Structure 1
Amino acid sequence: MFKKPASRRDFIKTVAVTGAALSAPSLWIPRAFSADNTLIIADNGGAIAPALRAAFYDPFEKETGIRITNVAHESEPVTQFKVAVDAGSHIWDLAMVTPDNVQRLTQDKNYIAPLDITDSKDILPGMLTGNWFGFSVWGTVMAYRTDRFKGEAPKGWADYWDTEKFPGRRALYRSPSGTLEMALLADGVAPKDLYPLDIERAMKSMSKIRQSVSVWWSNGAQNTQLLQSGEVDMSDTWNARAIAAIKAGAPVKIDWQGTYSVDGWSIVAGTPKLKQAQAFVRFCMHPDRQAVYSAMTSNGPSNANALQKIEQSKAELLTTYPKNLEGLQRRDEVWWSKNYDAVNERFQEWLLEG
């Protein structure tokens, strides 16, 4: 079962403590595998595909002689993962999954193989369990156009909800996950008290902002475009999408209050290449490799030492940069796993009422 995430305080403390220690964990990579070995990895595909290839796949193949064949899984990979195990097809050896996926893949039957990793001294708390390693940390935060707010700028979700003090065009994600957390933060709920979510309170808070939302966005590319074009003045966002707008030259700034989530690796139970898969996961723990991935994707690394290997101006825009992390609460994926369907139905019905 997926263990309860470590506290944010432990997370930040580890970043601070290990930040000065640049030694990498002992990641012994066997070289005894035959050159014709191939690992099939199911990942998220899309915009992060080149980063996965450059940071992990190609260097691992060069190091070990094990070829990496990657395929993009569906946005909801649990069913595919289960089919791969139940059918004994071995179509995947590893998959990129979330803690929520892990929870559902171990509830009634265990579909995940053990990682067999013991050396994790530089890995941030909550990023490694017996069957999952998180390496890609992303935040749900607020972004605003600095050309629209030249004087006092909005700070936090209470300001986003304050349409009199901060008038302007707003956008919100057309999904309850992440959005309801922001509604509760705006209503005065402390980050540590977010879960279990008070749905009634969250929906009342949402009703206060409904008429001021110009766009309900549904994907990351749309979110970036909204910020970049100036169609909206402020929006919730995934930090990487805001950074994409910033890199394109848009006058956008991130306010680091919100939540964070993690994507990671799990090994498919029954794979005949268990040792090779375990070696790959250990390889992905290396700070050098994580630094390449984070620099290319703008998702934070889980090895604290990786931040020291990234240009300072880029590191300061990552979720796991200590100052940013102070304002973020880890999303409770286990809670969402149990409640998403019912909450989403309520949320979508609420949208139609407007």
Structure 2
Amino acid sequence: MQYIGRRKPMQYIGITAAFAIASSAVFAADIKGKEAVIQSPGGKYTTALEEAYIKPFEAETGAKIRLVEAGADESVAAVSAQVKAGKVEWDGMSSVDAPYMPKFIKDGVIQKIDVSKIPGLEKLPKAVRSDYGVPVLNSVVTVSYRDADNVVPLKSVKDFFDPNIKGPRAVSSLAGEAQFVCALALLSDGVSVNELTKGIDVNRCLKVVDPIKDQITAYWANGSQMAQLMIDNSVDYCLCWDGRVIQAALANPQWKIQYNGGIQFPGYLTYTTGTKNADVLDAFAVYMLDPKRQAEFTKLVGYSSPNPESVAYLPDNLKPFISVTPEAQAVLTTLPDALFEIMSRQQVELGKAWQAYVGQ
């Protein structure tokens, strides 16, 4: 995702702002009194949605956004059942990671968006755009390290898998994270992205991990655990999500992020097939694409927002951690849709193999 963290000329910003205000006014007239129900994963993400987007959106438009908290697996089952029964209760999902999109599209669980009704999408890099969702954040799986005496700084993700770099490490124990662990392990071992799209070799993946297995001293099972391991300095290195690194670093400034060799993909606001409130979702999507609001969201949740202009509104202490800066984009790998499809097909296989390996 090639984001550019520079301000546009003042005249252009003025035109954009005026257009956004005009659009908001039209939407407010059309959707006042209506309500859309959206799934949210809970925790800091839900809080950030409410504070950065939902409360001001409701105040400005008179429409309502009601959040239903549910985890990824629960959401997949619930939305699929609702569509199959023809009784849509959740109009959308607030953050569907790109690897899940091919299956949702294939199963008819999410419907196409009308891009003509969502000004702001055209500013985003083509790599993050989708006919089936509005990008709301840029997710990265990469490595972090503790900046301390006797801890070797990681110069790339490849260093995490180097057994000669000693130190306690943390990775996920979750079946759903196996696809990311293996993708990073194989890329670090010289496998190209194109080769990965032909299939993820789980045996080779485990052979890459095996030399450092004795240095993996902690396995995280959720985002809170991931962050806490870093905050408490329980490990020196973590293979983890960038948002949790930011969360940890704000509490414990020793922690640094290394984007070199990391993988990135967008998370989307999706519309459930059969929703009767697409107009409310359209208006909310326009609201969410505003760069100032996205900067507020990033401050609260930690993850980078997709609008390139949002970086200009962030404090300097956050900018080194943001994945949409030119510096980060130069060293990150964007995963193609073909690889997401492979991940979707192999997810169960990879998950079972990874959990069996972790349990040995």
| TM-score normalised by length of structure 1 | 0.87
Is the partner of 1:31 in helix, strand or coil? Answer: helix
Please tell me whether residue 72 in structure 1 is matched to residue 69 in structure 2: yes
Q: Which moved more, 1:139-148 or 1:20-29?
A: 20-29
Contact persistence 1:227–1:250 (CA under 8 A): no
The match for 2:169 is 170
Is the partner of 1:131 in helix, strand or coil? Answer: coil
The match for 1:15 is 4
The match for 1:6 is none
Residue 303 (structure 1) aligned to one of 303, 307, 317: 307
Cα-to-partner distance string for 1:135-171 (whole Å, 9 max, x where unaligned) = 1112111111111446x5221133223333x221122
Q: Quote the offset at 1:191 in angstroms.
A: 5.7
Please tell me whether residue 340 in structure 1 is matched to residue 333 in structure 2: no
Contact persistence 1:138–1:262 (CA under 8 A): yes
Q: Quote the offset at 1:227 in angstroms.
A: 1.5
In structure 2, the CA distance between the partners of 1:34 and 1:324, relative to structure 1 (3 Å rule), is closer
The gaps in structure 1 that reach 5 residues or longer are 1-10
Distance 2:196 2:84 in 1: 37
Contact persistence 2:163–2:211 (CA under 8 A): no
Distance 1:31 1:167 in 2: 57
Please tell me whether residue 91 in structure 1 is matched to residue 98 in structure 2: no
The match for 1:48 is 45
The match for 2:112 is 114
Distance 2:309 2:76 in 1: 32
Counterpart amino acid of residue 60 in structure 1:
F
Distance 1:346 1:282 in 2: 42
Cα-to-partner distance string for 1:19-65 (whole Å, 9 max, x where unaligned) = 53563485423122354311111112112111101121112112211
Q: Which moved more, 1:81-90 or 1:299-308?
A: 81-90
Counterpart amino acid of residue 299 in structure 2:
A
More helix by share: 2
Distance 2:72 2:53 in 1: 21
Contact persistence 2:202–2:353 (CA under 8 A): no
Counterpart amino acid of residue 124 in structure 2:
I
Distance 2:49 2:277 in 1: 20
In structure 2, the CA distance between the partners of 1:212 and 1:34, relative to structure 1 (3 Å rule), is closer
Distance 1:34 1:350 in 2: 52
Distance 1:183 1:74 in 2: 26
Please tell me whether residue 158 in structure 1 is matched to residue 165 in structure 2: no
Q: Quote the offset at 1:181 in angstroms.
A: 2.1
In structure 2, the CA distance between the partners of 1:183 and 1:114, relative to structure 1 (3 Å rule), is closer
In structure 2, the CA distance between the partners of 1:31 and 1:161, relative to structure 1 (3 Å rule), is closer
Is the partner of 2:163 in helix, strand or coil? Answer: coil
Q: Quote the offset at 1:312 in angstroms.
A: 2.9
Q: Which moved more, 1:195-204 or 1:133-142?
A: 195-204
Cα-to-partner distance string for 1:184-235 (whole Å, 9 max, x where unaligned) = 2332335665444333321211222212211222222112222122221111
% identical aligned pairs: 22
Is the partner of 1:294 in helix, strand or coil? Answer: helix
In structure 2, the CA distance between the partners of 1:125 and 1:171, relative to structure 1 (3 Å rule), is same
Please tell me whether residue 254 in structure 1 is matched to residue 257 in structure 2: yes
The match for 1:239 is 242
In structure 2, the CA distance between the partners of 1:291 and 1:193, relative to structure 1 (3 Å rule), is farther
The match for 1:273 is 277
In structure 2, the CA distance between the partners of 1:194 and 1:106, relative to structure 1 (3 Å rule), is closer
Q: Quote the offset at 1:310 in angstroms.
A: 1.4
Ranges of 4+ aligned residues in structure 1 off by more than 6 Å: none
The gaps in structure 2 that reach 5 residues or longer are none
Counterpart amino acid of residue 251 in structure 1:
Q
Distance 1:241 1:168 in 2: 20
Contact persistence 1:117–1:130 (CA under 8 A): yes
Q: Which moved more, 1:249-258 or 1:81-90?
A: 81-90
The count of aligned residue pairs is 338
